[in-house]
């Protein structure tokens, strides 16, 4: 059954170009090792009007500041075991171990959320 890794990031707007460059490299690398699809999505409507329904928005959840935006990313795999195999290869790839990345992440690691998800409805 299909499996998805999902990520929510907070990125300062001034760092969007740097993050997009990093995300493009990530997409190439995950796809190189077998990910089925790779998506990087920038927040567009982060405070939607849901009428009388009060829901937690990404802006509130991340405590978003005016100079920041939310980025939602997800990678699709054949299964959880496929995800584990692909991710193991990705983590060994030299491009993912660039020391420059560790010192200059264009997003706030302390406000990043990540998780793996079993797909239960797929049409």
Residue 112 CB-half CA count within 13 A: 13
Q: Which of 62, 72, 79, 70 is nearest to 117 (CA)?
A: 79
Which class is 15-112 in CATH?
alpha beta
pLDDT band at 15 (very low <50, low <70, confident <90, very high): very high
- Domain residue limits, the chain: 15-112
pLDDT score, position 110: 87
Q: Is the pLDDT of residue 98 over 80?
A: no
pLDDT score, position 97: 78
Q: Is the pLDDT of residue 40 over 90?
A: yes
Looking at per-residue confidence, does 32 or 100 come out higher? 32
**What mean pLDDT do residues 32-39 have?**
98
pLDDT score, position 102: 61
């Amino acid at each position: 059954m299909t499996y998805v890794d999902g990520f929510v990031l907070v990125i300062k707007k001034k760092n969007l170009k740097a993050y997009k460059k990093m995300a493009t490299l990530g997409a190439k690398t995950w796809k190189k090792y077998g990910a089925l699809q790779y998506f990087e999505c920038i927040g567009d409507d982060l405070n939607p009007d849901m009428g009388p329904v009060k829901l937690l928005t990404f802006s509130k959840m991340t405590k978003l500041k005016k100079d920041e935006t939310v980025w939602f990313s997800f990678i699709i795999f054949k299964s959880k075991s496929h995800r584990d195999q692909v991710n193991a290869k990705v983590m060994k790839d030299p491009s993912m171990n660039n020391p420059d990345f560790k010192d200059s992440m264009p997003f706030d690691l302390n406000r990043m959320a990540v998780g793996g998800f079993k797909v239960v409805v797929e049409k």
